[in-house]
Amino acid sequence: MKSNRQFVIPFKGLKVGKHDFVFDVDDKFFDSFEGSEIQKGTINTIVILDKKPSMLEIDFHLKGSVSVACDVCLDELEINIEYDSKLFVRFGEITEEQTDEIIVLSHAEHELNVAQYIYEYSHLGLPYKRIHSNDKKGKSKCNKEMLKKLDEYLVRNEQEQGNDPRWDDLKNLLNNN
Ligand SMILES: [Zn+2]
């Protein structure tokens, strides 16, 4: 991950109470993370930081649209996402992540970079199944060209790996009929 300095919240200088921040991410943001499932995306994140005397309570509200690979045809699939999450920040001797929701920052820290959280929450906001929907006639909107190519690839793979002569006989039989 590159530094992503624009996602830093300098909490030390804030007064006790609630503070709002807005972070907009685009394709470049997801490019900066290696292995991101989200290929492209535009997400608006509203962060409400509630500074208390001894801790921080941070609410994230993400809303936007992202592109991932379809589970079936592997072509680009655009998905609208909306995801809320909460993060509690406590202070201690050393900086550590206690759970997904609680982190401890060393007393020496004076700012928090929320880029990693926005990245993780964007992925958590994705649906479990990512498949092109059907059109009004009930036909799949999956990319037919891609499906054809995938099918050919699978068949070729089967042929290259399947050296079982009985399989060849069967195929000859099918091809000749
Ligand atoms: Zn598809």
pLDDT digits (tens, 9 = 90+) for 141-176: 999 998 898 888 888 887 777 655 655 665 565 665
CA 146–ligand 1 middle distance (angstroms): 9
Question: How far apart are alpha carbons 71 and 77 in whole angstroms?
Answer: 9
Q: Is 138 left (phi over 0), alpha (psi -120 to 50) or beta?
A: left
Q: Is 129 a residue whose pLDDT tops 70?
A: yes
Beta bridge partners of 151: none
> Which distant-in-sequence residues (6+ apart) come within 8 Å of 4 by Cβ?
29, 32, 113, 115
If one compares 94 and 52, the residue with the highest pLDDT of the two is: 52
Domains of the chain as residue ranges with CATH: 5-124 (3.30.450), 144-175 (no CATH)
Q: Which whole-number Å values give the CA distances from 130 to 54, 146, 149, 154, in the listed order?
A: 42, 16, 20, 21
Q: Ligand 1 centre and the CA of 85: distance in Å?
A: 29
Secondary structure letter of residue 107 according to DSSP: T
Give the whole-number percent of the chain exceeding pLDDT 90: 72
* Average pLDDT for 92-100: 88
The predicted model scores a pTM of: 0.81
Q: What is the pLDDT of residue 56?
A: 97
Question: Rounded to the nearest whole angstrom, what is the distance from the C-alpha of residue 31 to the centroid of ligand 1?
Answer: 22
Distance (Å) from CA 76 to ligand 1 centroid: 7
Nearest one of 116, 107, 86, 95 to 12, comparing CA atoms = 107
Distance from the CA of 56 to the center of ligand 1, in angstroms? 42
The torsion region of residue 35 among left (phi > 0), alpha (psi -120 to 50) and beta comes to: left
CA of 116 to the centre of ligand 1 (A): 29
The helix/strand count (H/E) of the chain reads as 4, 8
Q: Ligand 1 centre from 36 Cα, in Å?
A: 19
